[in-house]
Homo-oligomer: A and B are copies of this chain.
Amino acid sequence: MQGIILSNETNALTLAELPKPTLKPGQCLVKLSAAALNRRDYWISVGKYPGIQPEVVLGSDGCGVVVDGPDTWKGKTVLINPNVNWGASEQHQSSDYSVLGMPTQGTLAEYIAVDEDRLMQKPVHLSDEEGAALPLAGLTAFRATFVKAKVTAGKKVLVTGVGGGVSQMAAVMAIAAGAEVYVTSSSEDKLNKARKLGATAGFNYQGAEWVKEAKSVGGFDAIVDSAGGNALNDYLKLIKPGGKIVHYGSTTGKPQELDLFRLFWSQASIIGSTMGSDREFEQMVAFVEEHQIRPAIDGVYALSSGVEAIERMADSSQFGKTVIRMEA
């Protein structure tokens, strides 16, 4: 079968011919119809992810049909839970946790072998491409938005950098939950797309006055962010007393300082969030089904163009997920 790996020889992403996985007891063989990219794949491709190993199939998100394994699963179209060894605690992942797709074999290939407890049936309202786009982004967005930021109906929420796969899902999930959702982006086009999905308003964070504009709507109960950097001090100006700023990434790096006085006087919290528990994965899929949520898909590429698709993530121009179709 074909799959995308980081080649040991060239140290670059390569579409390679690989052996079809063999099954261990309790595992299912999934013939993937679609996979989706995550920023994680891009970070790995540029050597900026912890624990990089060569010759391992990348990819954390997949949708396909079970072609071998226990009879209860055979023939079903499934999504794959991207958690590997989350562990027993709802609060945090275990010390031997990893995300599917390095060090374990991932989804950017024609087949994958996974433990049957990683599988969930694809919600019927989703296409295979949409199903593939859901797992990692949906889980990360669900935990950040509901478990950590405690977003509920009527709360005012700011979701930053709304083009990303997770932030787009966070915005759509918060809207579905009845929250009043605001977004930021550097792209007017992305702000418009978010408004069409139900966001109340958007702010262009490249504008000199965006913090003032955002403040004029009266402060936010929660801010969901993966940019990090110095914007954190702006968020401390925008958060309501007692509000929650949730970070699930730090793509712009570390803030150069942090206004702790504002943090403690406003009784605010800065809360870290990564992925989500296996229970939250089930809750997320149920929530997506209940609210008939569809992940935004920015583009669909063949597996043969997968390497270029990953390299294309460098400029963050996409709105929503980049999906890879396995079939020729």
A111 adjacent to chain B (CB < 8 Å): no
Q: Is the CB of A267 within 8 A of B232?
A: no
Proximity string of chain A (79-94) to chain B, C-beta cutoff 8 Å, 1 when within and 0 when not: 0000000000101110
A272 adjacent to chain B (CB < 8 Å): yes
A248 adjacent to chain B (CB < 8 Å): yes
A27 adjacent to chain B (CB < 8 Å): no
On chain B, the residues within 8 Å of A254 by CB distance are 257-260
On chain B, the residues within 8 Å of A268 by CB distance are 272
Q: Is the CB of A92 within 8 A of B242?
A: yes
A263 adjacent to chain B (CB < 8 Å): yes
Q: Is the CB of B272 within 8 A of A265?
A: yes
Cα distance A258–B250 when bound, in Å?
A: 11
Q: Which of these, B247, B257, B262, B267, contacts A260 with CB under 8 Å?
A: B247
Cα distance A273–B263 when bound, in Å?
A: 8
Q: Is the CB of B241 within 8 A of A264?
A: no
Q: Which single residue of chain B is at the shortest CB-CB distance from A144? A: B264
Proximity string of chain A (251-277) to chain B, C-beta cutoff 8 Å, 1 when within and 0 when not: 001111111111111111111111000
With an 8 Å Cβ cutoff, the count of chain A residues facing the other chain is 34
On chain B, the residues within 8 Å of A248 by CB distance are 264
A93-B241, A232-B258, A241-B91 given; A269·B269 CB < 8 A: yes
Contact residues of A: prevailing secondary structure: loop
Q: Is the CB of B242 within 8 A of A264?
A: no
On chain B, the residues within 8 Å of A255 by CB distance are 257-258, 260
The residues in A between 220 and 265 inclusive whose CB is less than 8 angstroms from any CB of B are 228, 232, 241-242, 247-250, 253-265
Cα distance A267–B91 when bound, in Å?
A: 7
On chain B, the residues within 8 Å of A89 by CB distance are 241-242
The residues in A between 57 and 104 inclusive whose CB is less than 8 angstroms from any CB of B are 89, 91-93
Q: Which of these, B249, B253, B256, contacts A264 with CB under 8 Å?
A: B249
Cα distance A228–B259 when bound, in Å?
A: 10
Q: Is the CB of B259 within 8 A of A264?
A: no
Cα distance A270–B92 when bound, in Å?
A: 16
Q: Is the CB of A266 within 8 A of B272?
A: yes
Q: Which of these, B242, B250, B256, B269, contacts A270 with CB under 8 Å?
A: B269
On chain B, the residues within 8 Å of A271 by CB distance are 269-270
On chain B, the residues within 8 Å of A249 by CB distance are 264
Could you say which of A228, A260, A261, A270 has the most chain B C-beta atoms within 10 Å of its C-beta?
A260
Q: Which of these, B258, B261, B267, contacts A92 with CB under 8 Å?
A: B267
Q: Which of these, B247, B253, B256, B267, contacts A274 with CB under 8 Å?
A: B267
10 contacts between A and B (CB under 8 A): A92-B267, A232-B258, A249-B264, A255-B258, A258-B258, A260-B272, A263-B272, A264-B272, A264-B273, A267-B272
Chain A residues with a Cβ under 8 A of chain B: 89, 91-93, 228, 232, 241-242, 247-250, 253-274
Given contacts A91-B242, A257-B257, 15 further A-B contacts (CB under 8 A): A89-B241, A92-B241, A92-B242, A92-B266, A93-B267, A232-B258, A247-B260, A247-B263, A247-B264, A254-B260, A260-B272, A264-B274, A267-B272, A269-B271, A269-B272
